[in-house]
Amino acid sequence: MNLKGRSFLTLKDYTPEEIEYLIDLAKDLKQKKKQGITGNSLKGKNIALIFEKPSTRTRCAFTVGCNDEGGYPEYLGKDDIQLGHKESVEDTARVLGRMFDGIEFRGFKQETVEKLAQYSGVPVWNGLTDLDHPTQILADFLTLKEQFGTLKGLHLVYVGDGRNNMANSLMIGSAKMGLHFTILSPKVLWADEKLVAECREYNKISGGTVTVTDSIKDVTGADAVYTDVWCSMGEEALAGERIALLKPYQVNAELMNKIGKENTIFLHCLPAVKGYEVTEDVFEAHADVIFDEAENRMHTIKAVMVATLGNI
């Protein structure tokens, strides 16, 4: 499958077959790395890594993935360039596109990563925005495939802030790939209705479903339960309000017991604030799969770079 030259801004832009291809490529690259085999598909390629927001997994995954394939990553923090401050995003994009072969962006506005893709002339990869986090979903889906052997038909329940970037991205990915996806959240934090409607259109092709509910009982039968921090970066001032709203939606032993299945797994995109969105006992009981998921950020991000920029 030829994805050369494509940007990776949101899973909306990719077909189910293309998403499956990226997951399978990541699986292959992971197996090779375990055997000590790295590649040179990015040899001679320079990659700009733009970070408005700090990062552990995203930065390390792009850096190691790029190095593994023979490329050179250059970290550009918020104080290193004038992106959107002294220089417009459009002009910065045109400069970086002349000097780099690919650009990763992790920051606030989806509009910024879209402008980088529009004006740079090189593949641009979304490492996270306030609206979307597509590379995380690839890692999550690789993890689900490792655990269950398939994606289609799985019941995935997201518990917590139902309108943040993780809820959005999981819903898009699940709708594309035929999962039965549930957002379990207080009504004031439900997902955008337009996005829900868009995902239900994807469901008509994939056979998946989207359910948005505030009832804890709807966790019953989940194959996987997923949560994220209650306050995303930049929302720290809302912490008190969020804690009060979301405390009933904490992933704890009581909630996990309501599922009624033996092999249900728990996933978290990390970092986790234990004692808030998830209790320590639940987190530690599922730590092996959570850190598989974290490791899979590297393999799936490497797959995106190799598929859209590499020589394969």
297 is catalytic: yes
In the prediction, which pLDDT does 233 show? 65
pLDDT beyond 70 at 85: yes
Sheet containing strand 102-106, edge to edge, reads: 72-77, 46-51, 102-106, 124-128
35 is catalytic: no
In the prediction, which pLDDT does 98 show? 98
Q: Do 39 and 60 share a structural domain? A: yes
The one catalytic residue in 132, 140, 223, 228 is: 228
pLDDT in tens, 162-216: 999 999 999 999 999 999 999 999 999 999 999 999 999 999 999 999 999 999 9
For 222, the domain range is 136-293
Q: How far apart are CA 300 and CA 265, in angstroms?
A: 20
In the prediction, which pLDDT does 13 show? 98
Q: Do 173 and 100 share a structural domain? A: no
200 is catalytic: no
> Which two three-digit tokens encode residue 168?
């959005």
Q: Do 141 and 81 share a structural domain? A: no
Q: How far apart are CA 213 and CA 159, in angstroms?
A: 10
Q: What is the CATH number of the domain that holds 38?
A: 3.40.50.1370
**CA 302, 307, 311: angle at the middle one, nearest 5?**
100
State yes or no: 233 annotated in a binding site: yes
In the prediction, which pLDDT does 237 show? 75
106 is catalytic: yes
Q: List own/partner pairs for 252-256 with CB under 8 A and 24 or more apart.
A: 252/278, 252/279, 252/281, 252/282, 253/279, 253/281, 253/282, 255/159, 255/216, 255/219, 255/225, 256/225, 256/282
pLDDT in tens, 87-98: 999 999 999 999
Q: Do 213 and 150 share a structural domain? A: yes
State yes or no: 106 annotated in a binding site: yes
Q: How far apart are CA 148 and CA 218, in angstroms?
A: 21
Q: Do 302 and 287 share a structural domain? A: no
In the prediction, which pLDDT does 232 show? 72
State yes or no: 256 annotated in a binding site: no
228 is catalytic: yes
Mean pLDDT taken over the chain: 96
pTM for this structure? 0.97
* Tally of structural domains, the chain: 2
Residue spans of beta strands (DSSP E) within 189-306: 209-213, 224-227, 265-268
Region 271-275: mean pLDDT is: 96
Q: Do 147 and 279 share a structural domain? A: yes
Q: Is the dihedral of CA 59, 62, 68, 73 positive or negative?
A: negative
What pairs with residue 101 in β-bridges?
none
Q: Do 26 and 146 share a structural domain? A: no
